Chains A and B, each alone.
Chain A
Amino acid sequence: MAESATGYVQHHLQHLQIGDGFWTLNVDTLIFSWITGLIYLGLFYAVARRVTSGPPGKLQNAIEIVVEFVDKTVKESFHGPREFVTPLALTIFVWVLFWNLLDLIPVDLLPDLAAAMGVPYLRIVPSADMNATFGLSLTVFVLIIVYGMKGKGVGGFGKEMLTHPFGSFPLLVPANLILNIVEMVAKPVSLALRLFGNLYAAELIFILIALLPAWIQWIPGTAWAIFHILVIPLQAFIFMVLTIVYLSLAYEKH
């Protein structure tokens, strides 16, 4: 029993992979993040094409609520040009939200269906894969540097890296640089690990609940799913807000 339980958990934590070494692709993560991304883009693009400034329909209304919410959040924190930042924030929020929602699909449903079709492994939640969360956060990291240079100029950005917390005394320059580099690196790492940790743990708990006898599963399953409903939008929101805040910190002169 213990052996099969361990096997069950390990099976559930194994990605569907092709290639080897670094050049491995987690096919399930890619496919499910594309599917959710295309649902997001399809939904919003369908609304954007038929958008009207008159009385909106139900779907347009729902989309507008999200758009308005993201727009307001960005407006409050980021005071530079927003034509790139707001679409970025919207993409992060909705995409991550859809990723996380996949966690509510019963853990065995899609893997069993896939197994029936001859696919050995399947993990459907992209945010429980570090590749996906770091994919987002490293892109954000690049954007932080880009916006830092855009807002302060390349020289200003470099100067801040060398002189920022302790001042421009030459002996302190290395300390400044080290501290700034740690701070810079901490941002994408914490962004990615926070989302990954939350969703990975949640997935694991769903897997453990699935190990319980069938007649009792619904009690912890329901409780955890209800709690998880809070976590899903919260993590998407945190990822979006921190991205905006980091970009804003990078862009603005202190």
Chain B
Amino acid sequence: MGINATLIGQMITFLVFILFTMKFVWPPIRQAMHDREKRIADGLASAERGQHELELAQKRAAEQIREAKQQASDIIEQANRRASEIVDESREEAREAARREHAAAEARIEQEVAQARSELRKQVSDLAIRGASRILEREVDAKAHNAMLEELADQL
């Protein structure tokens, strides 16, 4: 026990050890730990950024799907409307055509009736003349009474 020159040796050794640690041990280890901290922090940050971007993309995709659905339903609605329009139009056309046909047929019938009527009238007057001439036996001059007979036929 007791203090002796060992003390000086220890102090020198101590200083040498501190300086060695300061020069060769501390800086590289500390640097590596700092670098790792930075890398981990960067990694976490980029992971967060990726997450954020993923969320954005998902939102965008949902938006697009919604839009597409909207468009599709618009198109279907339009098509339905168009179809019912076409059906209505053709129904209307058919009705119109039927009406036209009907009118034409009626006109034709009327014409034929009129024709038949005048024919009938003529025949009736002929028949009347013939009957009257037979009754009167020559007393009736066809020529002389023709005008009167015509008038009679017209009255029928």
Contacts and interface: CB of A to CB of B under 8 A. Distances in A.
B6 A71 contact: no
Would you call the interface of chain A mostly helix, strand, loop, or mixed? helix
A4 interface: no
Contacts of A84: 18, 22
Contacts of B8: 135
Contact of B3 (A30, A40, A67, A134): A134
14 contacts: A15-B1, A30-B13, A34-B13, A44-B25, A45-B20, A53-B33, A64-B33, A83-B26, A86-B26, A87-B18, A87-B21, A131-B3, A131-B4, A136-B10
A18 to B, nearest CB: 10
Interface stretch (A20-28, A160-168, A225-233): A20-28
B32 A51 contact: yes
Contact of A135 (B14, B22, B29): B14
A139 interface: yes
A90 B10 contact: no
Interface in A114-162: 126, 129-132, 134-136, 138-139
A248 interface: no
Contacts of A49: 28
Nearest to B19: A87
Interface of A: 13, 15, 17, 19, 21-26, 29-30, 33-34, 37, 40-41, 44-45, 47-49, 51-54, 56, 63-64, 67-68, 71, 83-84, 86-88, 90-91, 95, 126, 129-132, 134-136, 138-139
Given A41-B17, A139-B11, A132 B6 contact: yes
B10 A30 contact: yes
B104 to A, nearest CB: 99
Contact of B5 (A24, A48, A91): A24
Interface residues of B, number: 31
Given A41-B20, A54-B36, A91-B17, A25 B25 contact: no
Nearest to A21: B4
Interface in B18-50: 18, 20-22, 24-26, 28-33, 35-36, 39
In the complex, which of the residues B20, B26, B30 has the most CB atoms of chain A within 10 Å of its own CB atom?
Answer: B26
Nearest to A88: B18
Given A37-B13, A53-B39, A67-B29, A24 B6 contact: yes
| 4 A-B pairs with least C-beta separation | A135-B10, A53-B35, A131-B6, A87-B22
Given A29-B10, A54-B36, A139 B2 contact: no
Contacts of B22: 83-84, 87-88
